[in-house]
């Protein structure tokens, strides 16, 4: 049996995280942090509404109970409400469905889908305000991001961090929202940890399980926190114990950074926004191909295309010949082809007709993938790629993108984020309601009860 080395504080990690979160309550959120939290909710909302009208979220509505609560279901346009757990499950699933939810790169983690879904469901149910929601989301991101960073990259070899750590981040958000004291906060984290699940194999083929991981994590977080509020206890060392989460799912988890005091420099400020509706491991390749196109390299002139990237990108998104829309979202060759052909990668890029397009298929046959050791060594902090084209005249054109668009060192500004929001909302709710939703979301820091002031699309 391989020895697992775990380092961390003398107290249990769940206890330490809870104590840090509760100790920071006396301090308000600085404006940059508050703005980052608003951006996180804005980004989540667009992804959730767009994902709420397609499977699997649309199918879940038929098998889960409506009514019986005041928490919204997004994406149906009918103002349907349900209990907080069901809303968290459906909305968390919806937010991860169209592959446009945010990323915390050092943790190989999508924090928004489970964390915001859980916090909003309980905020709707209990009448919490915009500032209270933003505080809860910030703390949920902080706890989840810290745990994700501690267990990765080893964890990501087999586990889907959004499904596993997402439950812990969601529980932290709800525990903060309802004001649990440190002991109950720790029990919420401990119970959520033992609920954690989500396997990489679930999205190595065309299946609906991947977004369900996010929804199930959101539901687990709601249940864990509300159970802790009612007096349910958990094992405080379930994260760092010899048979705990770190030992079971990571090689050498280091809990020291995870349990440092919350000093106001919250990790939510270092969230990546997704500009393309596909796997984030494909983004740098898309950026590089778009740059080639801007330099005058036409798709019809390509005789050979080589994409070099970090090893995990090739393992997760190296499908050379995707046959379905789902597979295409996890195919660097496909998105590279679309970027060269269309100059953009949008939701429409994954229509059935596009995946079968002869021009796309031609480019797939002449695309090769290679691992770049330097880009692999920079991962997960940076996600880069090189696109190299040999044209029909034998000339070589190459672009290297060291950090993909949307990451903190190559960010998307508020204007572009709002455009993304409206593009996702308008097909579902119409331009007028999309505009109203945009205005309300950007005012969250001054909003009263979110159930009244945030639109239900």
pLDDT in tens, 120-134: 999 999 999 999 999
Q: Do the beta carbons of residue 205 and residue 323 sit within 8 Å?
A: no
Q: In this predicted structure, what is the pLDDT of residue 150?
A: 97
Strand 302-309 versus strand 367-371 pairing type = parallel
Q: What is the pLDDT of residues 118-169, one digit of tens each?
A: 999 999 999 999 999 999 999 999 999 999 999 999 999 999 999 999 999 9
Q: How far is residue 347 from each of residues 98, 156, 326, 328, 412, measured CA to CA in Å?
A: 8, 26, 11, 11, 18
Dump pLDDT digits (tens) for 166-191.
999 999 999 999 999 999 999 999 99
Query: Measured between alpha carbons, how far is 280 from 276 in angstroms, rounded to an integer?
Result: 8
CA-to-CA separations, 354 to 51, 151, 337, 350, 363, in angstroms, rounded: 20, 38, 11, 6, 13
pTM of the model: 0.90
Alpha carbon 48 to its chain centroid, in Å, reads 11
Confidence of residue 354 (pLDDT cuts 50, 70, 90): confident
pLDDT reported for residue 362: 96
Query: Could you tell me the domains of the chain?
Result: 13-270 (1.10.4100.10), 280-401 (3.30.1330.120)
Q: How many CB atoms lie within 10 A of CB 291?
A: 17
- Are 417 and 40 a contacting pair, CB within 8 Å? no
Whether 4 has a pLDDT exceeding 60, the answer reads: no
Which residues fall within 8 angstroms of residue 439, CB to CB, at 6 or more apart?
none
Are residues 424 and 24 in contact, defined by beta-carbon separation less than 8 angstroms? Answer: no
Would you state the pLDDT for residue 7? 58
Confidence of residue 2 (pLDDT cuts 50, 70, 90): very low
385-391: strand order across its sheet: 367-371, 302-309, 385-391, 396-401
Query: Would you state the pLDDT for residue 203?
Result: 87
Query: What pLDDT, on the 0 to 100 scale, is given for residue 353?
Result: 85
Q: Provide the greatest CA pair distance for the chain.
A: 72
Token pair 């190459």: residue:
398
**What is the rounded CA–CA span in Å between residue 364 and residue 382?**
26
| DSSP letters for 282-304 | GHHHHHHHHHHHHTT--GGGEEE
Report the C-alpha gap between 385 and 313 in whole angstroms. Answer: 9
Alpha helical stretches, state H, 343-413: 352-355, 358-365, 373-378
pLDDT of residue 3: 45
pLDDT digits (tens, 9 = 90+) for 42-88: 999 999 999 999 999 999 988 887 778 999 999 976 678 999 999 99
For the segment 192-227, what is each residue's pLDDT rounded down to a tens digit?
999 999 999 998 888 999 999 999 999 999 999 999
From the list 165, 141, 164, 156, the residue with the least C-alpha distance to 108 is 156
Residue with tokens 């060192």, as numbered in its chain: 409
Q: 341: which 2 tokens?
A: 């052909």
As a dihedral over the C-alpha atoms of residue 336, residue 338, residue 339, residue 343, rounded to 10 degrees, the angle is 170
Cα 12 to Cα 372: distance, rounded to the nearest angstrom: 39
Residue 10's pLDDT is 67
- Do residues 18 and 183 touch, judged by C-beta distance below 8 A? yes
Question: Which ranges in 7-83 belong to alpha helices (H)?
Answer: 13-23, 31-51, 57-63
Structure tokens at 393: 């005249």
Q: What is the pLDDT of residue 380?
A: 85
Instruction: Cis check for the bond before 242: say yes or no (omega within 30 of 0).
Output: no
Nearest to 93 by CA among 65, 76, 80, 74: 74
Crossing angle of helices 161-177 and 130-151, in 10° steps, is: 140
Please compute, for residue 242, the number of CA atoms within 13 A of its CA located in the half-sphere on the CB side.
3
Beta strands in 347-430 (DSSP E): 367-371, 385-391, 396-401
Instruction: In whole angstroms, give the CA distance from residue 225 to residue 187.
Output: 8
Q: What is the pLDDT of residue 6?
A: 55
Over residues 235-282, the pLDDT tens digits come to: 999 999 999 999 999 988 999 999 999 999 999 999 999 999 999 999
How far is it, in rounded angstroms, from Cα 102 to Cα 108?
Answer: 11
Number of C-beta neighbours around residue 23 at 10 A: 12
- Compute the distance between CA of residue 275 and CA of residue 260 in angstroms, rounded to an integer: 32
H helix runs in 130-282, sequence order: 130-151, 161-177, 182-195, 209-229, 245-249
List the beta bridge partners of residue 349.
Answer: none
Over residues 304-312, the mean pLDDT reads 97
Structure confidence at residue 1 as a pLDDT band (50, 70, 90)? very low
Round the average pLDDT of the chain to a whole number and report it.
94
Residue (of 420, 379, 354, 415) closest to 284 by Cα position: 379
CA distance linking residue 212 with residue 192, whole number of Å = 16
What is the 8-class DSSP label of residue 216? H
């Amino acid at each position: 049996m391989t020895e697992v080395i775990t380092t961390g504080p003398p107290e249990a990690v769940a206890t330490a995280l809870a104590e840090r979160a509760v100790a920071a309550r006396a301090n308000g959120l600085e404006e940059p942090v508050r703005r980052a939290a608003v951006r996180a909710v804005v980004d989540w909302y667009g992804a959730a509404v767009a994902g709420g009208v397609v499977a699997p979220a649309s199918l879940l509505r038929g098998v889960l109970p409506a009514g019986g609560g005041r928490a919204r279901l997004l994406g149906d346009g009918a103002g349907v409400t349900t209990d907080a757990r069901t809303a968290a499950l459906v909305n968390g699933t919806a937010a991860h469905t169209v592959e446009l939810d945010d990323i915390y790169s050092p943790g190989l983690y999508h924090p928004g889908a489970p964390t915001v879904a859980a916090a909003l469901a309980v905020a709707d149910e209990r009448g919490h305000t915009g500032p209270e929601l933003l505080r809860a989301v910030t703390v949920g991101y902080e706890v989840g991001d810290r745990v994700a960073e501690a267990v990765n990259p080893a964890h990501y070899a087999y586990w889907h961090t959004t499904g596993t750590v997402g439950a812990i981040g969601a529980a932290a958000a709800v525990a903060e929202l309802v004001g649990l004291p440190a002991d109950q906060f720790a029990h919420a984290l401990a119970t959520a940890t033992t609920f954690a699940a989500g396997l990489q194999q679930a999205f190595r083929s065309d299946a609906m399980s991947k977004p369900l991981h996010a929804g199930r994590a959101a539901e687990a977080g709601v249940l864990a926190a509300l159970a802790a509020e009612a007096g349910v206890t958990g094992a405080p060392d379930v994260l760092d114990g010899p048979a705990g989460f770190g030992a079971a799912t990571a090689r050498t988890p280091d809990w020291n950074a995870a349990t440092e005091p919350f000093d106001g420099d919250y990790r939510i400020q270092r969230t990546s926004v997704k500009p393309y509706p596909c796997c984030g491991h494909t983004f740098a390749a898309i950026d590089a191909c778009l740059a080639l196109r801007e330099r005058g390299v036409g798709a019809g002139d390509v005789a050979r295309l080589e994409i070099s990237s970090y090893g995990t990108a090739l393992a997760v998104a190296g499908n050379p010949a995707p046959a379905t829309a789902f597979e295409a979202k996890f195919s660097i060759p496909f998105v590279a082809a679309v970027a060269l052909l269309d100059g953009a990668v949008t939701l429409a890029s994954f229509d059935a007709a596009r995946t079968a397009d002869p021009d796309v298929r031609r480019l797939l046959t002449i695309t090769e993938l290679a691992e770049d050791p330097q880009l692999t060594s920079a991962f997960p902090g940076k996600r880069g790629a090189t696109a190299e084209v040999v044209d029909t005249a034998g000339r070589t054109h190459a672009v290297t993108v060291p950090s993909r668009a949307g990451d903190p060192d190559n960010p998307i500004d508020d204007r572009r984020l709002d455009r993304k929001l409206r593009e996702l909302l308008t097909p579902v709710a119409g331009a007028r309601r999309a505009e109203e939703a945009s205005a309300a979301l950007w005012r969250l820091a001054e909003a009263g009860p979110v159930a009244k002031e945030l639109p239900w699309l």
